[in-house]
Chain A
Amino acid sequence: NAGVTQTPKFQVLKTGQSMTLQCAQDMNHEYMSWYRQDPGMGLRLIHYSVGAGITDQGEVPNGYNVSRSTTEDFPLRLLSAAPSQTSVYFCASSYSWGAVGYTFGSGTRLTVV
């Protein structure tokens, strides 16, 4: 099925551990982005990419790294997890930057203890 696939769905990390949240889309979308959502809050943009090899920072980039080596994949790396990074992470894609119809993944629920 076409769409945005995020893995894992749930993850518990210890403070200081590193991990990579995976995001893949099979719609040949140029634009991909990562948002985080804290309880009762809207979504905040972490990083985004307007095409393979191009990434940029969003509103809350500290503590996260990204890369975009292929059109399909946009992984988000937490280098040294902190409790403040406990959140739900959503990946989104669209055919171009700012286009309507963002497609979101189902999210990764991350808890850092």
Chain B
Amino acid sequence: DAKTTQPPSMDCAEGRAANLPCNHSTISGNEYVYWYRQIHSQGPQYIIHGLKNNETNEMASLIITEDRKSSTLILPHATLRDTAVYYCIVGGNYGQNFVFGPGTRLSVLP
């Protein structure tokens, strides 16, 4: 499975955009990029995923570089409730188990 590298922690001011980077230089052509987050001690929550194109939903936007070796999750207007650990995962859309690394701990500051 492709591995990902994320910064261990980041801060963001409330109301500003939070940009969380992820490196996945060994990603293969049919592997997707997935983002999950874990708020406090709750179970992880799916946020968004993408293959090549940029994606947007009601929670976030996902920007994938043209060479697909890195991506950025964007929370456009971070709130205190967005304080969580964010996991970037790469994998196929069938037949692979997701590997959750340590993720990025995002702290949204008032």
State whether the Cβ of A53 lies closer than 8 Å to any Cβ in chain B: no
In the complex the two chains form, is A97's CB within 8 Å of B94's CB? yes
In the complex the two chains form, is B46's CB within 8 Å of A58's CB? no
State whether the Cβ of A19 lies closer than 8 Å to any Cβ in chain B: no
In the complex the two chains form, is B102's CB within 8 Å of A107's CB? no
State whether the Cβ of A81 lies closer than 8 Å to any Cβ in chain B: no
Residue numbers in B under 8 Å from A44 (CB-CB):
100
Residue numbers in B under 8 Å from A102 (CB-CB):
36, 44, 46, 98
State whether the Cβ of A33 lies closer than 8 Å to any Cβ in chain B: yes
- Size class of the B contact interface (CB-based, 8 Å): 20 to 34
CB interface residues, B 53-110, toward A, < 8 Å:
87, 91-103
Given A41-B102, A42-B102, A98-B92: A104 touches B97 (CB 8 Å cut-off): no
Q: Chain B's interface: helix, strand, loop or mixed, by majority?
A: loop
Residue numbers in A under 8 Å from B94 (CB-CB):
96-99
Contact among B32, B45, B101 for A100, CB-based, below 8 A: B32
Residue numbers in B under 8 Å from A45 (CB-CB):
97-99
User: Looking across the interface, which residue of chain B has its beta carbon closest to that of A6?
Assistant: B43
In the complex the two chains form, is B41's CB within 8 Å of A107's CB? yes
Given A97-B94, A100-B49: A105 touches B102 (CB 8 Å cut-off): no
User: Looking across the interface, which residue of chain A has its beta carbon closest to that of B94?
Assistant: A98
A interface, CB within 8 angstroms of B: 4, 33, 35, 40-45, 48, 58-59, 88, 90, 92, 96-107, 109
